């Protein structure tokens, strides 16, 4: 190692540069295309010479398409689903670790099931439930005609969540990776902390809010960012559960961005690329802003 | 924080704890006087922490009664039992300042801010941490952290103070200093204190009375002096003292007790008996029982040896430094008759202690 650091350094640098080039090439392509006008693009096809229409393209995306509205939708849905998942992860892990109930094993089973059966696999039943949230209640009440014999008609409650933020966000919450992560984190905390708080007179809820929550800031924030991005790029479920374009998320909206009029028409690729940049920028900004906190969270949880 | 007049005694009546049908504490009855400093001493896993946690209310009791003062508390919430606890790994809240750590209980109890501040300051001064109130626990040394934990315990002016091996994480010198501080703190505060440890030096130096526990049963509950000089059974005899007491299987007949043909003492009992003699009571003399020095350790203030009698019986003994004895030599020892302890060979209970 030590004899030949310089050549190792050089090799490593070269390898890293090659890797960067490989990863960045498509991005460069996206940015360059976004600078061209539709006219130029039709004339020259894809080219590597930057054009001068970047701002114009952004303006067009901003003013003429639904993408700004859809970006806002994405933000709401990603935020709500990430927040919900963090909340569930935190509270579930708290119950499992600090109260060790007898039924912990069932919670673990449910968490595992939610990881092994992702939403994409259950799109159709999830769609049916979202179309009428009361459906399971109806089904149970009408079991063997029970409700009908009691009240004369089958129970038929209706609550449609399709095309709503709730309908898009809530099913995205039903995934338990965060719970496992928080369980692992809580297990690294000293057990006597809870005992000390109990003797100090703190109720379990108070312990959770006063002690556990501040101590979990780091891991929770990392988890939140990770899940936020997951919600931001979710494609299948928003596509299925939202049909009206102005409720749609940005990632889905992107695919519908000026794809050309007729069968043979060439899509407005520069406009699409400008849109793609806009949609990517928000999670990037989020990461950039919170990067320090995330790193600190990771270090804290190592302790 | 002057001496508190409201220290309360603790009465344990047939206290039991069972984990998944395994009795950890099969039934324990003891009376801890108000203001007394009791040390619970015993080997690892004997149920010391379990006992303490039951008194604190952190573990449910499986049976029996706990009285603090005149109140029966086994079904009362921990915070209402009028006690506070200090833990081995400090259990400070890492995200709070020293002041907030000390004052958390007061905050939860809804004590007004002004009063809180002054009580925090007083408690911090008691443990000499008055200047550290704004620090985080991570910015303190181990000893300082444990002092914060002690301040956190005394700020509520509890009737009972519980300690679960609070000094085990400190190095030897700090442990000694903290021992002295705890001792003087106890004299000033006067709260009934229960201190769990498996370190017999801590037990001997701190305790008014030591409760020796093994397998969840009380072996002896007495003053350090009596524990050392009048061990109630072979367990206590072998547990206290460093190096521990020699316990020898011997036979008593015709008015004398002897081991492998060597007469040790006159006695009126007969039959099998376990004889105990402390290593520091065995003297190396000009004449007496010839022994072979198998092993010798120099500890500065004294030295310890393992010696072997002609009949193969080994003994540990401690001598003053300066005895010019080397490993492998033959020397003579004398075992003073009045220092012998006699135990029932079958049950291990003390028969007679001189
Ligand atoms: N939650 C539990 N479930 C089952 N068994 C337990 C539990 N807690 C303690 N025990 C058992 O009870 C016994 C006593 O435990 P305890 O913690 O009181 O020992 P200790 O005397 O404090 O030991 P140490 O000196 O190592 O702290 C041990 O055998 C332990 O295995
Ligand atoms: Mg213990």
**Range A79-221 has CATH code 1.10.3720.10:** yes
**CA of B166 relative to ligand 1 center, distance in Å:** 17
Does the beta-carbon distance from A214 to B95 stay under 8 Å?
yes
Q: How many CB pairs under 8 A join A and B?
A: 53
Whether residue A86 contacts residue A296, with contact meaning beta carbons closer than 8 Å, is answered with no
Tell me the chain B residues in contact with residue A196 when contact means C-beta distances shorter than 8 Å: 85, 87, 91-93, 152
CA of B83 to the centre of ligand 1 (A): 22
Q: A113-118: list long-range contacts, CB under 8 Å, 24+ apart.
A: A114/A174, A114/A175, A114/A176, A115/A175, A115/A176, A115/A177, A118/A175
Alpha carbon distance B64, B68 (integer Å): 14
Instruction: Report how far apart the first and last C-alpha atoms of chain A are (Å, whole number).
Output: 31
pLDDT (tens digit, 9 = 90+) per residue, B57-93?
999 999 999 999 999 999 999 999 999 999 999 999 9
Rounded Cα gap, residues B124 and A269, in angstroms? 69
Q: At what angle do helices A269-302 and A217-233 cross, to 10 degrees?
A: 160
Q: How far apart are CA B4 and CA B199, in angstroms?
A: 28
Contact with chain B for residue A190, Cβ under 8 A: yes
| Residue A136 pLDDT greater than 50, yes or no | yes
Residues of A in contact with B90 (CB under 8 A): 192
- Does A202 sit within 8 Å of B104, measured CB to CB? yes
pLDDT given at position B254? 84
pLDDT of residue B161: 95
List pLDDT tens digits, range A72-106.
Answer: 999 999 999 999 999 999 999 999 999 988 898 99
Residue B19 alpha carbon to ligand 1 centre in Å: 9
**DSSP summary character for residue B298:** E
Percent of chain B whose predicted confidence (pLDDT) is above 90: 73
* Record: contact A195-B89, CB cut-off 8 A: no
Token pair of B42, please? 């015993």
Q: Which residues share a beta bridge with B217?
A: B214
Q: Is B301 in the pocket of ligand 1 (CB under 6 A)?
A: no
Q: Give yes or no for a contact between B34 and B83, defined as CB atoms under 8 angstroms apart.
A: no
In short, whether B48's Cβ falls inside 6 Å of ligand 1 is yes
Q: Which is it for strands B160-164 and B192-197: parallel, antiparallel or unpaired?
A: parallel
Q: Which residues of A touch B152 (CB under 8 A)?
A: 196, 200
Does the beta carbon of B17 sit less than 6 angstroms from any atom of ligand 1? no
Residue of A189, A200, A203, A214 to mutate, interface with B, max B Cβ within 10 Å: A200
Report residue B326's pLDDT band, with 50, 70 and 90 as the boundaries. Answer: confident
Domain ranges of chain B: 4-237, 238-353
pLDDT value at residue A150 = 84
- pLDDT over threshold 80, residue A235: yes
* Orientation angle between helical segments A67-99 and A269-302, nearest 10 degrees: 20
pLDDT value of position B347: 92
Task: Please state, in angstroms and rounded to a whole number, the distance separating the CA atoms of residues A155 and A168.
Answer: 26
Fold of the B4-237 domain: Rossmann fold (3.40.50)
pLDDT more than 90, % of chain A: 52
Task: Return the pLDDT at A260.
Answer: 60
CA angle B7, B13, B18 (to 5 degrees): 115
Residues of chain B found within 8 Å of residue A199, distances taken between Cβ atoms: 56, 58, 78-79, 83-85, 105
> How far, in whole angstroms, is CA A82 from its chain's centroid?
6
Whether the per-residue pLDDT at A296 is higher than 80: the answer is no
Which of the four pLDDT bands, split at 50, 70 and 90, describes residue A51?
confident
Task: Give the model's confidence band at A147: pLDDT under 50 very low, under 70 low, under 90 confident, else very high.
Answer: confident
Look at B79 and A192 and tell me if their CB atoms are within 8 Å.
no
- Highest mean pLDDT range out of A136-150, A285-299, B328-342? B328-342
Domain boundary assignment for chain A: 79-221
Distance in angstroms (rounded) separating the CA atoms of residues A114 and A106: 12
Q: Which residues of A touch B103 (CB under 8 A)?
A: none
Sheet holding B283-285, edge to edge: B283-285, B330-334, B289-298, B302-309, B314-320
Average pLDDT over residues A107-134: 91
Quick check: A292 pLDDT over 70? yes
Q: Are A113 and A266 in contact (CB under 8 A)?
A: no
Per-residue pLDDT at B1 exceeds 50: no
The first and second tokens of residue B112, run together, are: 């007004």
**Could you tell which of B18, B43, B47 is best to mutate to test the pocket of ligand 1, judged by most ligand atoms within 8 Å of the CB?**
B47
State how far residue A294 is from chain B, nearest Cα, in angstroms.
Answer: 17
List the alpha helices (DSSP H) in chain A: 5-34, 38-44, 54-64, 67-99, 104-116, 123-131, 135-141, 146-151, 165-173, 177-188, 192-199, 204-207, 213-215, 217-233, 236-241, 250-255, 269-302
Ligand 1 centroid – CA A211 distance (Å): 26
The model's confidence at residue B311, banded by pLDDT at 50, 70 and 90, is: confident
Label residue B322 left, alpha or beta by phi (over 0 means left) and psi (-120 to 50 means alpha).
left
User: How much is the pLDDT for A145?
Assistant: 80
Atom of ligand 1 nearest to the CA of B52: 18
Q: Which residues of A touch B55 (CB under 8 A)?
A: none
Residue nearest to atom 2 of ligand 1 (CA): B19
- Distances in whole angstroms, Cα of residue B265 to Cα of each of B249, B251, B262: 14, 11, 10
Among all chains, which residue has been given the structure tokens 């017999």? B200
Positive or negative: CA dihedral A213, A217, A218, A220: positive
Sheet with strand B271-277: strands edge to edge: B262-266, B256-259, B246-253, B271-277, B341-344, B350-353
- CB–CB of B87 and A211 under 8 A? no
Q: Is B50 in the pocket of ligand 1 (CB under 6 A)?
A: yes
What is B238-353's CATH topology? OB fold (Dihydrolipoamide Acetyltransferase, E2P) (2.40.50)
Average pLDDT score, chain B: 91
Distance B51 CA to ligand 1 centre (A): 10
Phi, psi (rounded to 5 degrees) for B215:
50, 40
How far, in Å, CA of B258 to CA of B272, rounded? 10
Residue of B nearest to A193 (CA): B91
Nearest by CB: B95 against A196, A198, A215: A215
Q: For residue range B181-234, what is the model confidence (pLDDT) as tens digits?
A: 999 999 988 899 999 998 999 999 999 999 999 999 999 999 999 999 999 999
Mutation for testing the B interface, residue in A185, A191, A194, A201 having most B CBs under 10 Å:
A201
Going by pLDDT thresholds of 50, 70 and 90, the confidence category of residue A46 is confident
Write down the pLDDT at residue A298.
58
- pLDDT over 90 at A193, yes or no: yes
Report the pLDDT value the prediction gives residue A2, as an integer from 0 to 100: 58
Put simply, the chain B residues between 165 and 194 with a CB less than 8 A from any chain A CB are: none
Q: Which residues contact A170 (CB under 8 A, 6 or more apart)?
A: A81, A84, A161
Ligand 1 atom 1 nearest Cα = B19
Which chain A residue shows the shortest CA-CA distance from B92? A193
Check if B53 has its Cβ closer than 6 Å to any atom of ligand 1.
no
Q: What is the mean pLDDT of residues B296-312?
A: 87
| Residue B24 near ligand 1, beta carbon < 6 Å | yes
Supply A160's token pair: 């449609």
CA of B50 to the centre of ligand 1 (A): 6
pLDDT at residue B216, rounded to an integer = 94
| Mean predicted confidence (pLDDT) in B267-294 | 90
> With an 8 Å Cβ cutoff, is B76 touching chain A?
no
Chain A, residues 206-235, CB within 8 A of chain B, namely: 206, 210-211, 214-215
Q: Across residues A126-147, what is the average pLDDT?
A: 87
User: Residue B234, Cα to own-chain centre: how many angstroms?
Assistant: 17
Task: Share the mean pLDDT of chain A.
Answer: 88
Residue B133 has pLDDT above 60, yes or no: yes
The model's pTM: 0.84
pLDDT band at A264 (very low <50, low <70, confident <90, very high): low
- Bridge partners of B330, per DSSP, are B292
Report how far ligand 2's centroid is from the alpha carbon of A190 (Å). 14
B16 vs B27: CA distance, rounded Å = 5
Q: CA-to-CA distance for A215 and A300, rounded, in angstroms? A: 9
pLDDT for the residue numbered A302: 42
- Closest-CA residue of chain A to B87: A192
- Identify which has the larger pLDDT, B281 or A2: B281
Q: At B204, is the secondary structure helix, strand, or coil?
A: helix
Position A261 scores a pLDDT of 57
| Cβ of B94 less than 6 Å from ligand 1 | no
Let me know: does B227 contact B220? Beta carbons within 8 Å. yes
Alpha-carbon torsion, ordered B224, B225, B230, B236, to 10 deg: 20
Q: B152 CB near a chain A CB, below 8 Å?
A: yes
SS3 B30: strand
């Amino acid at each position: 190692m030590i004899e030949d650091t310089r050549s190792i350094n050089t090799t490593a640098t070269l390898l890293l540069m090659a890797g960067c080039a490989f990863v960045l090439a498509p991005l460069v392509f996206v940015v360059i295309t976004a600078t061209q006008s539709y006219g130029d693009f039709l004339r020259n096809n894809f080219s590597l010479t930057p054009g001068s229409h970047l701002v114009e393209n952004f303006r067009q995306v901003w003013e003429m398409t639904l993408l700004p509205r859809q970006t806002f939708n994405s933000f709401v849905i990603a935020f709500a689903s990430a927040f919900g998942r963090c909340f569930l992860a935190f509270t579930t892990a708290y119950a499992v670790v600090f109260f060790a109930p007898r039924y912990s094993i069932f919670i673990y089973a449910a968490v595992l099931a939610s990881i092994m059966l992702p939403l994409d696999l259950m799109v159709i039943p999830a769609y049916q439930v979202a179309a009428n949230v009361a459906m399971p209640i109806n089904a149970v009440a009408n079991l063997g005609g029970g409700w009908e014999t009691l009240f004369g008609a089958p129970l038929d409650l209706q609550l449609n969540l399709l095309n709503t933020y709730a309908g898009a966000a809530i099913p995205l919450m039903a995934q338990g990776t965060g719970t496992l992560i928080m369980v692992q984190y809580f297990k690294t905390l000293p057990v006597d902390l809870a005992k000390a708080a109990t003797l100090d007179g703190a109720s379990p809820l108070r312990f959770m809010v006063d002690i556990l929550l501040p101590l979990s800031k780091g891991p929770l924030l990392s988890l939140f960012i990770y899940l936020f991005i997951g919600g931001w790029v979710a494609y299948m479920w928003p596509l299925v559960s939202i049909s009206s374009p102005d409720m749609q998320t940005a990632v889905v909206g992107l695919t519908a961005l000026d794809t050309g009029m007729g069968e043979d028409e060439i899509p407005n690729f520069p406009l699409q690329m400008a849109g793609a940049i806009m949609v990517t920028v928000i999670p990037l900004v989020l990461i950039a802003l919170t990067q320090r906190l995330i790193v600190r969270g990771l270090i804290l949880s190592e302790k | 924080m002057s001496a508190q007049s409201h220290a309360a005694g603790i009465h344990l009546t047939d206290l039991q704890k069972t984990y998944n049908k395994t009795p950890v504490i099969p039934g324990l009855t003891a009376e801890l006087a108000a203001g007394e400093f009791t040390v619970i001493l015993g080997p690892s896993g004997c149920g010391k922490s379990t006992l303490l946690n039951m008194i604190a209310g952190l573990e449910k009791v499986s049976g029996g009664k706990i009285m603090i003062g005149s109140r029966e508390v086994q079904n009362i919430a921990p915070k209402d039992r009028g006690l506070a606890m200090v833990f081995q790994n400090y259990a400070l809240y890492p995200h709070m300042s020293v002041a907030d750590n000390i004052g958390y209980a007061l905050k939860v109890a809804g004590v007004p801010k002004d009063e809180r501040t002054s009580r925090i300051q007083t408690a911090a001064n008691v443990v000499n941490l008055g200047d550290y109130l704004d620090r985080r626990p991570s910015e303190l040394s181990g000893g300082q952290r444990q002092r914060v934990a002690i301040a956190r315990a005394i700020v509520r002016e509890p009737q009972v103070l519980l300690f679960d091996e609070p000094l085990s994480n400190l190095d030897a010198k700090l442990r000694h200093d903290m021992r002295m501080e705890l001792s003087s703190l106890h004299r000033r505060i006067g709260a009934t204190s229960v201190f769990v440890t498996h370190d017999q030096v801590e037990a001997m130096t701190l305790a008014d009375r030591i409760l020796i526990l093994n397998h969840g049963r009380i072996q002896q509950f007495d003053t350090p002096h009596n524990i050392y000089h009048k061990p109630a059974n072979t367990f206590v005899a072998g547990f206290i003292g460093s190096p521990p007491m020699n316990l020898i299987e011997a036979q008593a007949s015709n008015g004398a007790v002897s081991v492998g043909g060597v007469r040790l003492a006159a006695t009126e009992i007969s039959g099998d008996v376990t004889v105990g003699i402390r290593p520091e009571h065995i003297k190396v003399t000009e004449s007496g029982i010839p022994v072979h020095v198998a092993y010798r350790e120099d500890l500065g203030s004294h030295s310890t040896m393992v010696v072997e009698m002609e009949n193969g019986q080994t003994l540990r003994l401690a001598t003053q430094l300066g005895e010019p004895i080397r490993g492998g030599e033959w020397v003579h020892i004398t075992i003073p008759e009045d220092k012998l302890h006699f135990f029932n060979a079958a049950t291990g209970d003390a028969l007679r202690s001189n």
